[in-house]
Amino acid sequence: MTSPRPVALLDLDGTLMDSASGIVASVRAAYERVGLPVPSEAVMRSFAGPPLGWSLTTHGVPADLLDDAAAAYADHFGRVGVWDTRVFDGIPQALTALREAGALLVVATAKPERWAAPICDETGLTPLLDHLVGAPDDESESKGQIIGRALTWVREATGDAGFRAVMLGDREHDVHGAAEHGLPCLGAGWGYADGDELRDAGAVEVLTSTSQVPAAVLARVTDGAA
């Protein structure tokens, strides 16, 4: 009997691409627009990955200013910040190796799909991926819900409910979102996690280099994986 096709779910910001510069500039614009003190550089970098509403609320934006701050961020990011990004060194090679090994590669990102898809096109990632699932425009979904939609796509695309999957992400939201579906999560240690964030959240392993991705992913999704 043919073994199920291995599946890798991939976070985008901080995992496949370094988008911190554009995100930081857009966060700064949002706080300035609503008249709040601009957070530190480290705090603004932490906006990469989690849903925007969660980050704004966590870092001092009151409920009555939340919509205005989110709109200001979206305006700046959509015009400028979205293009201020680059693919991490070694990621194209890692994705190519996984594709050659037969893995299905699906991005599951909290970045709205209206931004995630064109930036993957622009940076050359799209031909290396099988599908992309991003947040809705209002960013109303948790990472767990986004991962759930990605898994639904895999089941429908493959006609197989018995596939093995692993998540690769750089923030605790990736780990927790994967756990909601019983999936292990590999930590992207080159991303934007703070200290032991990934280990504390329950990542099964924290990788230190993009070159480790193919072996680590395949070890979790092929027969005999722990």
Active centre residues (catalytic): 11
Alpha carbon distance 9, 175 (integer Å):
12
Q: Rounded to a whole number, what is the largest CA-CA distance in the chain?
A: 62
153 vs 196: CA distance, rounded Å: 32
Q: How far apart are CA 129 and CA 98, in angstroms?
A: 10
- C-beta of residue 188 within 8 angstroms of C-beta of residue 11: yes
Pairing of strands 185-188, 104-112: unpaired
Strands (E), the chain: 7-10, 17-18, 86-87, 104-112, 131-135, 165-169, 185-188, 205-207
Distance of CA 37 to the CA centre of its chain: 27
